[in-house]
Amino acid sequence: MSKRIWAAVLVAAVALSSTVMLPMGGTQLVAAATPQKGSAGAEVEDTSTDGRTTATGFQFRVTGKEATITGYSGTTKELAVPTKIKMVTEDTATKPGGSTKPDPDAVEYAVTAIADNAFSGNLGIQTVTLSGGLDSSGRTFGIRSIGDRAFFACHDLTTITIPSTATSIGKHALSDCVALTNITVSEGNTRYKVIEGALYYYTAGNGTGEYTLVQYPLGNTATEYKVPDLVAPTLKEIGEGAFWGSQYLETIVLPGPVKTVGDNAFSECKRLKSVSLPEGLASLGAEAFRSATALPEITIPDGIKTLNNGMFQYCESLRKVNLPDTLSIIGNRAFEGCKSLTEFKVPAGVTMIGDQAFAQCENLREATIPMKTTSIGSGVFSGTNVTILCHHGSQAAIYAGNNGFTTERTYTVAFYTNNTYTSVISSQEVAEGRDAVAPTVEGRDGYSMSWSGSFTNIRQDTRVHEVWRKLFDVTFVDNYNGRTEVVKVPEGTQAQPPAWTMAGYTLSWKEEIPEETDSNFTVRAVWRNSSSGQVIGPNVVKPAKKGTEITKGNCVYKVYSASAQNPTLKLVGIANPNATSITIPETVSHGGVRYKVTMISANAANGNESITTLTINKNITAINAKCFYKCKNLKKIRIKAKGIVNMNNKAFAGIHSKAVFYTYESQKTRYRAMLKTAGVKKPTIKRL
């Protein structure tokens, strides 16, 4: 049989749904059906004639009776990876009549692993089903391990099914699979779980187990990663490459329990703008943020000692990096290509800066390097025009001189906890003539902290220590405006009063403010009118706002003047419509303020038929229109006020026809004329 005919027969045989015996010369082959997409619990069989590649294109190697998939040369987009491979030979057994039968010595291999890089970079695969479970005889079969970078950068891969038998998934196995949206783990797997779309490794412990985030589904279009509530309390690690290649995430917040972030965890996250790293973080992997080109700022928590190689390489938008005092090593290429960095202060505890750490940071103008930095690699600032701020005679100064960089002299400013200078909080290099920045110090209840000396305009090495003073409460009170402010004042210093103002008045204080505070005390405001010099005493309460309604006894008033010197009210209504006797008092007290009652508003008691007796006391100056109009039973009116200037239209029109007005002899003539204007044609007036 020619090779062309044999190839055609083989292609046809591969498409059959069952094993077929194919003659070739004096040998036989067993070819399996093309694996169909199926459940992760189903066995999938394939065949090979050369011990390297199956009939459908899976490359493999064997060890004993087990096979490992090492690659794929086929074109199928939906892969069901075989769980067994039969190795067939060209030997045949001939029956009478020339028929053939399978070789009883054909070898079968159980596929148990996917090798490192097996499918890495394959751009055609869209779905992958890895199978495993129990066969009809109750024996376990299927994939147990998936190697490092097994499916790395399979950019078209959207769906993968991981079998219940898988106990190991290698580093970066699914990293940079930018279309991946659907990860499934078959029921029964005791190590891997999918929770809210992401793949986690789970280690059972005493009580609650611990989680590692293995892979985030990079095709997910969400802009924020929120750790699920089930996982957050015990999420200990972000696996290597877990977010590598996300094209949508902008914000990632990691919970407190996370201790480790693996290599390349956030590499190539092109839209990532904010990452919140927990305070307890102990390790950040190499190239953790490489090419996160939108990231503008990041804070590395205390406890991190090393910025591993390439950590922020090509983070082109990175302008600010907040580094901890615990840092001791800046690795090779840590900030290479960070084009937005303009200045950088190496923390005081850093002893080593690796090769090309700031290479191609083309806008970097200043880099401050401390005395402790004794190892500076090659090409650290290549491609920059940086000025190195450093101590005279330091390793950084020597490096700058040897490599043609401009230098500017710095001094060390150290901050200590006490005046014995035995416990340093932090130190920093400060360029000559500039100011140091004090570290944040945790407060103490009831005390204030200051520094023992100045750390501005630095001209020499400087050290300062904490100075703690007891705090006293100084209370400033403005009764008139109803406000109080309590100022915490350090012992031995003078309290600074609040900057209160009031239009037309100047402020002073009744009590003296001592230059050195040694106890709690209260100071009260005194307001003086800028024009008249009249004083509003410290205990005066401010009147209510103009228009505020006040009810006292049978009368309803409104504030007419809110002046502190002369607060006044006007009568606007009768609170008790059944009251027969109404007295308008000289003053009304309300809210600690005594108001004069100076006016009766228009229509105040218009139409009231209950009132029979009315007394108008001495502070009234105006009785307005229709205020007692048609009070037809009003018969006795006492007017004690001598300062009334007007009684307006119909103020008393329609009262009792035999009404009698009582007033002082001196006012009878004047008020008679006013009463006629107020609607009383022939007023009867008697002496009060």
Looking at residue 170, what is its pLDDT?
96
Amino acid identity of residue 497, one-letter, is P
Task: Provide the total of helices (H) and of strands (E) in the chain, helices listed first.
Answer: 3, 55
Other CB atoms within 10 A of residue 594 CB: 12
Looking at residue 402, what is its pLDDT?
95
On the CB side of 366, CA atoms within 13 Å amount to: 11
pLDDT in tens, 116-172: 999 999 999 999 999 999 988 889 999 999 999 999 999 999 999 999 999 999 999
CA–CA separation, 62 and 607 (whole Å): 113
Looking at residue 537, what is its pLDDT?
83
Amino acid identity of residue 132, one-letter, is G
Beta strands in 148-233 (DSSP E): 159-162, 168-169, 182-185, 192-195, 198-203, 210-215, 224-226
Distant-in-sequence, close-in-space partners of 532: CB < 8 Å, separation ≥ 6: none
- Residue of 279, 321, 320 lying closest to 301 (CA atoms): 279
Looking at residue 540, what is its pLDDT?
84
Looking at residue 514, what is its pLDDT?
95
Other CB atoms within 10 A of residue 684 CB: 12
Of the chain, the end-to-end C-alpha distance in Å amounts to 147
Contact 106, 155 (CB under 8 A): no
Looking at residue 313, what is its pLDDT?
98
Ranges under pLDDT 70 in the chain: 1-39, 90-105, 205-208
- Retrieve residue 368's tokens: 């401050």
Looking at residue 88, what is its pLDDT?
86
Looking at residue 89, what is its pLDDT?
75
What are the C-alpha distances in Å from 229 to residues 190, 236, 477? 20, 14, 49
Looking at residue 95, what is its pLDDT?
44
Looking at residue 15, what is its pLDDT?
32
